[in-house]
Chains A and B, each alone.
Chain A
Amino acid sequence: MFFKPERFSVFVERTLHEMNNIGVGSLPIVAIISIFVGAVTTVQTAYQLISPFIPVKIIGTIVSDSSLLELAPTITCLVLAGKVGANIASEVGNMRVTEQIDALEVMGINSSGYLGLPKIIAGLIMIPCLIIFANFLLISGGILAAQLTGIMPPNEFIQGARDTFTFFTLSVSMTKAFVFALIITSVSTYEGYYADGGALEVGEAGTRAVTRSCIFILFFDFIIAKLMLNA
């Protein structure tokens, strides 16, 4: 798959096209999920921490740290495994069963590289951007929910979030984003590329891509947490 592109301009054009599909195409779903997950996390954290002995700003600390460390990268990437992963697997799988991949090979084009590499590079660029966007919206959703439900004013939430924020927490979030991006794009391309048969098999390849991507994401989530946050 990792090869010198036949024509660099075509490779760049394809990568930009995939960046648009993966990144811009996923913005609405990532935005909706992030705002609601942030809001729900705030409400549920507040429900568990109502006590005169605990300062209310701690809710902001918990929500922001949870968002950066777990919710934004993992929840967003599980959703992207469904949206982007299924899309990639079905697109590539359809090209396989309709002989479009054979057509590329007959022309002398490295089909796995031509199809797979732009998707992987686009995923590695756009999915971390989506995670940064999700982090921002999760915390914004939390602030909004805290204010609308009267749990706490925004400035206390922000103060709580600032108290424990470190760039290391952000680096854990970004590490997960890069690893999960690689998993989603490569697993899905692989499943589509090796689909064999007809429409039914393309559907099965899509399902396998989503299932396996999710399992790998959760597995590597644990590995990264263990390696980077081992106390």
Chain B
Amino acid sequence: MLELQNINKSFGDKQVLFDINAKFEPGIPNLIIGASGGGKSVLLKCMVGLMKPEKGNILYDGRDFVHLEYEQVKEIRREIGMLFQGTALFDSLTVAENVQFPLKMFSKMNASEIKDRVDFCLKRVQLEGAENKYPAEISGGMKKRVGIARAIAMDIKYLFCDEPNSGLDPITSRVIDDLLLDITAEYGITTMIISHDMKTAFDIGDKILFLYEGKIRWQGSKNEIHSAGKEIKELGAFIASSQI
């Protein structure tokens, strides 16, 4: 389980996160939604350690990520997989080499075990046959799937996804959503998805956290979001603007 306690983050005089408190359970997709500039990506970067909050704790199964020593932070990072908005695949490596990268760096597997694991991960995201292609030679949806395969190559406990549907058509977007939903349930991992896509929220949002101007304005599930939108003006406006 991942828990955020009183997370505050500023850039100079501008505070972008205000006392964020939340708990994310394993086995279900946890969505963080909100308009652009609302602090979603900053919160995600704080959670994975790319930014450090000024105040607060980030607890990975009780281990405080913010205040640990570098070597202990590295241990936690090996339990983390991340799907970046722009996929962040290594340009100079093929699809298979991208997926095997974390295995080569950290696992004790031999070459044939690594190959089996890469084949399994690529099959899991339905990318058999694309092993030898470079990222520049595949579509946006395929890149996202390679990103997911790379993220799950190690036995991760936490999966972070930054705008997994950005730049994708609705059909491919749905495929990625379903894949994330299946993988989360299958491996029992704690999945955090940053999105401003309401369709994703309605499809897979078992737990949704609505961030507005750096503050949590609402937490609930996809079944409750419409009724909450009628009570909370900002959430209602966000839902309405997303459906235009």
**A residues neighboring B (CB under 8 Å):** 6-7, 10, 94-95, 98-100, 102-103, 105-109
Instruction: Verify if B129 is at the interface (C-beta below 8 Å from A).
Output: no
* Also in contact, A108 and B88, with CB within 8 A (given A6-B105, A10-B104, A102-B50): no
Q: Which residues of A contact B91 (CB under 8 A)?
A: 94-95, 98, 100
Is B86 in contact with A98, judged by CB distance below 8 angstroms?
yes
Q: Which residues of B contact A98 (CB under 8 A)?
A: 86, 88, 91
Is A106 in contact with B105, judged by CB distance below 8 angstroms?
no
- Taking the closest CB of chain B, its distance from the CB of A54, in whole angstroms, is 55
Is B48 in contact with A109, judged by CB distance below 8 angstroms?
no
Stretch at the interface among B76-84, B182-190, B204-212, B216-224: B76-84
* Also in contact, A102 and B104, with CB within 8 A (given A107-B77, A108-B78): no
CB neighbors of A among B146-182 (8 A): 160
Q: Which residues of A contact B80 (CB under 8 A)?
A: 106-107
CB neighbors of A among B79-124 (8 A): 80, 82, 84-86, 88-91, 101-102, 104-106
Q: Write 14 A-B pairs (CB below 8 A) sorted by A numbering.
A: A6-B105, A6-B106, A10-B104, A10-B105, A98-B88, A99-B86, A99-B88, A100-B91, A102-B50, A103-B88, A105-B50, A106-B80, A108-B74, A108-B75
Instruction: Verify if B49 is at the interface (C-beta below 8 Å from A).
Output: yes
CA distance A6 to B73 in the complex (A): 14
Q: Which residues of A contact B49 (CB under 8 A)?
A: 105-106
Q: Which residues of A contact B75 (CB under 8 A)?
A: 108
Give which listed residue, A94, A102, A108, contacts B84 with CB less than 8 A.
A102
Is A7 in contact with B77, judged by CB distance below 8 angstroms?
no
Q: Which residues of B contact A105 (CB under 8 A)?
A: 49-50, 77
- Taking the closest CB of chain B, its distance from the CB of A49, in whole angstroms, is 51
Select the residue from A10, A98, A103, A109 with max chain B CB neighbours within 10 A: A103
Q: Which residues of A contact B73 (CB under 8 A)?
A: 108
Nearest first, the 3 A-B pairs at minimum CB distance are A108-B77, A99-B88, A103-B88
Q: Which residues of A contact B160 (CB under 8 A)?
A: 106
CA distance A105 to B84 in the complex (A): 12
Q: Which residues of B contact A109 (CB under 8 A)?
A: 105
* Also in contact, A107 and B78, with CB within 8 A (given A7-B105, A10-B104, A100-B90): yes
Give which listed residue, A94, A100, A102, A107, contacts B102 with CB less than 8 A.
A107
CA distance A10 to B48 in the complex (A): 24
Is B84 in contact with A107, judged by CB distance below 8 angstroms?
no
Is A107 in contact with B50, judged by CB distance below 8 angstroms?
no
Identity of the chain A residue whose Cβ is nearest the Cβ of B147 in the assembled complex: A103
Identity of the chain B residue whose Cβ is nearest the Cβ of A5 in the assembled complex: B105
Is B105 in contact with A107, judged by CB distance below 8 angstroms?
yes
Is B104 in contact with A7, judged by CB distance below 8 angstroms?
yes
Identity of the chain B residue whose Cβ is nearest the Cβ of A100 in the assembled complex: B88
- Taking the closest CB of chain B, its distance from the CB of A185, in whole angstroms, is 18
Q: Which residues of A contact B88 (CB under 8 A)?
A: 98-100, 102-103
Q: Which residues of A contact B90 (CB under 8 A)?
A: 95, 100, 103
- Taking the closest CB of chain A, its distance from the CB of B194, in whole angstroms, is 14
- Taking the closest CB of chain A, its distance from the CB of B115, in whole angstroms, is 16
* Also in contact, A103 and B104, with CB within 8 A (given A98-B88, A108-B77): no
Identity of the chain B residue whose Cβ is nearest the Cβ of A6 in the assembled complex: B105
CA distance A102 to B50 in the complex (A): 7
- Taking the closest CB of chain B, its distance from the CB of A14, in whole angstroms, is 11
Is B86 in contact with A106, judged by CB distance below 8 angstroms?
no
Further contacts, 19 of them, CB under 8 A, given A98-B88, A98-B91:
A6-B106, A7-B104, A7-B105, A99-B88, A100-B91, A102-B50, A102-B88, A103-B88, A106-B48, A106-B49, A106-B50, A106-B80, A107-B78, A107-B105, A108-B73, A108-B74, A108-B77, A108-B106, A109-B105
Identity of the chain A residue whose Cβ is nearest the Cβ of B107 in the assembled complex: A7
- Taking the closest CB of chain B, its distance from the CB of A88, in whole angstroms, is 13
CA distance A10 to B85 in the complex (A): 27
Is B104 in contact with A106, judged by CB distance below 8 angstroms?
no
Is A99 in contact with B84, judged by CB distance below 8 angstroms?
yes
CA distance A95 to B85 in the complex (A): 14
Q: Which residues of B contact A99 (CB under 8 A)?
A: 84-86, 88
CA distance A98 to B92 in the complex (A): 13
Is B84 in contact with A103, judged by CB distance below 8 angstroms?
yes
Identity of the chain A residue whose Cβ is nearest the Cβ of B84 in the assembled complex: A99
Q: Which residues of B contact A108 (CB under 8 A)?
A: 73-75, 77-78, 106
Q: Which residues of B contact A103 (CB under 8 A)?
A: 82, 84, 88, 90
